[in-house]
Amino acid sequence: MSDIEFPTFEKIGLRPLINGCGTYTIISGSVMLPEVRAAMVEASKRYVHLDELHDAVGHRIAELMQCEWGMVTNGCAAALCQITAACVAGTDPEKMARLPDTAGMPDEVVVQKSHRHVYDHAVRMAGVKLVEVETLAEMEAAINHRTALLLIFGDAADRGQVGVAQMAELGKLHDVPTFVDAAAERPDVPNRYLAEGVDAVGYSGGKCLRGPQSSGLVLGSKSLLQAAFLNGAPHHALARPMKASKEEVMALLAAVEMWVRRDHEAEWKEWERRLQVVEDALADIDTICFARHEPGRSNVSPILCVDWDADKIGRSGADVANALSAGNPRIELFHHATGVTVNPYMMEDGDEAIIAPQLRQALTSN
């Protein structure tokens, strides 16, 4: 062993935080499961051929997730890029090498206007144009020989007029691949989106799966996913910079192995218990009120909304959230004008016993 001490966040001047927000990349997503960390270390000790690794892991993921094939990418945004590139250039080496020059290739991706997203860029970087539609009739009318892909964002699925199954049916009718970006959603088995007929669905590996933050999981058609793999690292194509290392691939496989073994009902009960600890610690504060709610399809956990009369307390939601962020230990919560929200989704054991008194102090100190 080397005598050199390994670096820590504190040694380089950073302040780690307690995550009461959820699986957001800006605050590093999630903490990897112990089994994931162990798999990453083990994979780092030896060499392996990455093409062979892709095939073996794709097959194993398919077994675990009860689908045709699985693929590990360098995050879900990388999955968007690689799937799009595969739909445009296929497996033709000459076409793959020319992207994002799409001359002579299908170069349009049809998406509902309500599903436009900051992650569009991962699609557009393949050289395609996003064609906006609103109705099912408009979507069908937009499909032509230049259409490479029909795209939907899972957590926005209820905001548009065209549902996932309707889009999938259109895709099959016109022989156009369909893809769902479900980055922060639960990859439950059987998969809801594949059951609705889409060709592929992508998830973040570093969110609810609690795998490496720089990993992504794609499930679906074997031919499409294998084409997407060829359009990425270690091959010399558009997504070559989006490298998923052997360590990340095996670590994400470990996360998938654990996903189908975890007691999700018990996890939910534990999240509820943690919120109750926080609620009990604040219950006697003047004007305080609580509400529990669940979000949409992303960051699916119970959430505690804590509200108060800002005039009587003398602090706004932002004041309290800022005080917690500046405190020691640092706590990050989302806030609104008259309160904050506590999301236990990515809290670690014992975090509730830290958040509760700190939140109480932020609300009651003079």
CATH number of domain containing 204:
3.40.640.10
**In this predicted structure, what is the pLDDT of residue 157?**
65
Sign (positive or negative) of CA dihedral 128, 130, 135, 137: negative
Asked if 152 contacts 164 with a C-beta cutoff of 8 angstroms, the reply is: yes
**In this predicted structure, what is the pLDDT of residue 158?**
73
Question: What SS3 state is found at 348?
Answer: coil
Tens of pLDDT along the chain (366 residues) come to: 567 788 999 999 999 999 999 999 999 999 999 999 999 999 999 999 999 999 999 999 999 999 999 999 999 999 999 999 999 999 999 999 999 999 999 999 999 999 898 889 999 999 999 999 999 999 999 999 999 999 998 876 677 899 999 999 999 999 999 999 999 999 999 999 999 999 999 999 999 999 999 999 999 999 999 999 999 999 999 999 999 999 999 999 999 999 999 999 999 999 999 999 999 999 999 999 999 998 777 888 999 999 999 999 999 999 999 999 999 999 999 999 999 999 999 999 999 999 999 999 999 986
The residue range of the domain holding 343 is: 10-25+263-364
**In this predicted structure, what is the pLDDT of residue 156?**
67
Residue 297 maps to a domain:
yes
Q: Which residue has the tokens 């309500």?
A: 114
Within 13 A of 89's CA, how many CA atoms are on the CB side?
A: 31
**In this predicted structure, what is the pLDDT of residue 61?**
98
**In this predicted structure, what is the pLDDT of residue 300?**
87
Residue 107 maps to a domain:
yes
Cα(253)–Cα(250) distance, integer angstroms: 5
Q: Are residues 80 and 132 in the same domain?
A: yes
Q: In sequence order, what DSSP letters do the residues of 62-104 get, joined into one string?
A: HHHHTSSEEEEESSHHHHHHHHHHHHHHTT-HHHHHHTT--TT
**In this predicted structure, what is the pLDDT of residue 2?**
60
Q: Are residues 270 and 331 in the same domain?
A: yes
Q: In sequence order, what DSSP letters do the residues of 226-290 get, joined into one string?
A: HHHHHTBTTSSSTBTTS---HHHHHHHHHHHHHHTTS-HHHHHHHHHHHHHHHHHHHTTSTT-EE
DSSP annotation of 296 reads S
**In this predicted structure, what is the pLDDT of residue 366?**
66
Cα(188)–Cα(47) distance, integer angstroms: 32
Q: Are residues 106 and 187 in the same domain?
A: yes
The values of phi and psi at residue 153, to 5°, are: -100, 120
**In this predicted structure, what is the pLDDT of residue 346?**
95
Question: Which residues share a beta bridge with 153?
Answer: 181
Residue 5 maps to a domain:
no
Structural domain total, the chain: 2
| CATH number, domain containing residue 298 | 3.90.1150.180
